[in-house]
Amino acid sequence: MTYPAKGYGPYGPDPWHQTSWDARAAGNFVCGGAGAGLVVFAVFAGMGSAVVPWLLLSGLALVGLGLFSVSLELGRPLRAPNVIRNPRTSWMAREAWVAGLLFASGFAAAFGVAGMARVAAVLALTFVYCQSRLLQGAKGIPAWREPLLVPLVLVTGLVEGGGLFVASIPLHRTATPALLTLFAALVVVRMGVWLVYRRRLTRAAAGARAALDHAGLILLTLGTAVPLACVAALVTIALPAGAMAALCVLAGLAAAGAGAWAKFVLVTRAGFNQGFALPHFPVRGVPR
């Protein structure tokens, strides 16, 4: 039996769905992770040559879009600057600080400042790590507090960004077989981490299982099988330019789209609190 709590929805011994984080919060994880991953792939593609500026700027734009998305759910927007006040204990504050440094280094790299590209890549990875710790810090939600959520969010962001990079190959033509192989490897790692993560969820996360299983099926088929088949064809078969471009777009968008949907479901549909944990019920007159 659950009871309504003013401003927080129902509460009681049974799990209930959190209402604090909605699609606007999910947009931060989806866009921020994809943008940071795109920055990383853009820097890798530019090793030994000039980094494609618009790829870096596109990644930064996605990160900014994610931060703007989560800012829309603030009840008092004028207090948003307060988020940066306590980076020693708050992963949200750390995310904000890292985002500022990422924008600075990313813009510098896009305009040709030497050495800034690698700094931007490191900060992009750090940004996604902060996001993963922010979500995993919600200890009252079993589907979020699982330690494997941290590598899951991190590798999903890299695959999303890698997918956008692969989909844009017909425009910049800086990809190499090594980068395509790296992208395929990350796709496999993401699926493996997802399967282990799903298996480790306890009974307390029963409310999240149906939503996660549906998202996992999409991740397996559209987000894993399709990109791997496309990359295998791109690497091993001599194809016409038009066919190669079509396979790049299909592989990239399938991997990025499935990852974005999985994170959206994770934030908006799998966020069930565990309810009250009462392993021992007090009974008058019975010694403990």
Question: Does the residue 2 lie in any domain?
Answer: no
Percent of the chain residues past pLDDT 90, beyond the cut? 53
Selection from 58-72, 139-153, 230-244, 245-259 with the highest mean pLDDT = 245-259
For range 116-140, the mean pLDDT: 91
Q: Kindly provide the b/e burial profile for residues 188-209, where b requires at least 16 CB atoms within 10 angstroms of the residue's own CB.
A: ebbbebbeebbeebeebbebbb
What span, in angstroms and rounded, lies between the C-alpha atoms of 29 and 259?
11
Q: Can you read off the two tokens belonging to residue 174?
A: 């800086």
C-alpha distance across the termini of the chain, in Å: 26
Neighbouring-strand partners of residue 181: none
Domain membership of residue 255 (yes or no) is: yes
Q: How many domains does the chain have?
A: 1
pLDDT at 7: 43
Provide the pLDDT for residue 133: 92
Residue 12 lies in a domain: no
Q: Is 100 helix (H, G, I), strand (E, B) or coil?
A: helix
Cα–Cα distance between 153 and 135 in angstroms, integer?
Answer: 9
Would you list the DSSP string of 179-198? HHHHHHHHHHHHHHHHHHHH
Q: What pLDDT is recorded for position 1?
A: 45
Enter the tokens of residue 116: 């800034």
For the stretch 37-93, pLDDT in tens is 999 999 988 865 667 889 999 999 999 999 998 887 766 666 666 667 777 778 888
Torsion of CA 112, 116, 117, 122, to 10 degrees: -170
Whether residue 78 is contained in a domain is answered as: no
Phi, psi of 139 (to 5 degrees): -70, -20
Mean pLDDT of the chain: 85
Token pair listed for 77? 């927007």
CATH number at residue 125: 1.20.1630.10
- pLDDT, position 85: 75
| 27 or 4: which leads in pLDDT | 27
In the chain, what are the helix, strand and coil shares in percent, each to the nearest 5?
A: 70, 5, 25
**Residue span of the structural domain in which 27 resides:** 19-72+89-268
Is 221 among the domain residues? yes
Domain-embedded: residue 279:
no
CB 145 within 8 Å of CB 25: no
- Kindly give, in sequence order, each residue whose CB lies less than 8 Å from that of residue 35, ignoring residues fewer than 6 positions away: 58, 59, 60, 61, 62, 63, 64, 65, 66, 124, 161
- 3-state secondary structure labels for all residues of 2-48: CEEECCCEEECCCCCECCCCCHHHHHHHHHHHHHHHHHHHHHHHCCC
Q: What would the mean pLDDT of 257-264 be, rounded to a whole number?
A: 96
For residue 121, being part of any structural domain is answered with yes
Least confident of 18-27, 82-91, 164-173: 82-91
Q: Residue 283 falls within a domain, yes or no?
A: no
Candidates 276, 10, 38; CA nearest to 172 is: 38
Half-sphere exposure of 229 (CA within 13 A, CB side): 10
Please state the rounded mean pLDDT for residues 148-166.
96
